[in-house]
């Protein structure tokens, strides 16, 4: 996909290479680089996968690999954890029991 100068895009930038990461992290995590996904306005026409420069909303200019044009804002709290569904009721019952003389 081709992006034009001024498009809202997301770039991937390597913050730390695998060899630069802390020794205090799990080995499987240490094997991969620490990367950031950053959104901003594209400063030149490019294609997904190209190295580009963007300007963030606060005016920072950063370089990275163009990942997506007009990226969505997506987040959630993950999948439901069945074991946690009744915690509130169970805790309430315990507290009521503790209060009773």
Band the pLDDT of 85: cuts 50, 70, 90: confident
Is 15's pLDDT higher than 90? yes
Q: Please state, in angstroms and rounded to a whole number, the distance separating the CA atoms of residues 20 and 30.
A: 9
- Torsion angle of alpha carbons 78, 80, 85, 87, nearest 10°? -40
Is 63's pLDDT higher than 90? yes
Query: Which pTM value belongs to this model?
Result: 0.71
- Average pLDDT taken over every residue of the chain: 93
Which alpha helices (DSSP H) does the chain contain, by range? 27-30, 87-99
Q: Give me the architecture of the 2-73 domain, per CATH.
A: Roll (2.30)
């Amino acid at each position: 996909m081709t992006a034009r100068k001024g498009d809202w895009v997301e770039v991937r930038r390597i913050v730390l290479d695998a060899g630069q990461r802390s020794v205090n992290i799990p080995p499987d995590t240490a094997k991969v680089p620490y990367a950031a996904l950053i959104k901003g306005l594209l400063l030149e026409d490019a294609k997904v996968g190209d190295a580009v420069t963007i300007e963030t909303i606060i005016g920072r200019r950063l370089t990275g690999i163009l990942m997506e044009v007009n990226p969505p804002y997506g987040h959630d709290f993950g999948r439901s954890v069945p074991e946690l569904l009744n915690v509130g009721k169970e805790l309430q019952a315990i507290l009521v029991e503790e209060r009773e003389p």
